[in-house]
Amino acid sequence: MTDSIPQNTSIAEPNPQFMREAIALSLQSVRSGQGGPFGAVIVKDGVIIATGNNQVTSTNDPTAHAEVVAIRSACKTLNTFQLKGCEIYTSCEPCPMCLGAIYWARPDRVYYGNTKVEAAEIGFDDQFIYDELELPLSERKLPMIQLLSEEAIVAFQEWAAKLDKIEY
């Protein structure tokens, strides 16, 4: 990552209406049977540019969390791979996957409703992922085995030498 998350940007006043929209999306997700109780909206210049609700079970896509769905939509709308100048309102504190996606997208800030502890209390407990990340690869529950590193490194070498690459 060449740019970092903004550190000292002035904090705009959060808009409760945007959080209410994220919460409404979380309820819609539950009531429609699309997925878990999570919703997210992305705002730029005071306007909602993208929304997302959890669609994991309805799309058979374990990455279709509300924040990821909203990020994909916002990037398509803005025709960019970064969300600088945007804010994310999400009905729950982001899980590790969504948090990683959010950091890569680089919004200015994130507002959340429910906490990860409250999510864990209803069966959405991500603590095992946080715990696994702290372990050496050899001790993780999911085997991580390096294979064909001599061949895989060629793509990295070509990327490093590429003069017309778009860094992100």
For the annotated catalytic residues, the residue numbers are 67
**Measured distance CA(49)–CA(47) in Å, rounded:** 6
Residue spans of alpha helices (H) in the chain = 16-32, 56-59, 66-78, 96-105, 116-121, 127-134, 149-161
CA distance 163 to 96: 33
C-alpha–C-alpha distance, residues 143 and 45, integer Å:
44
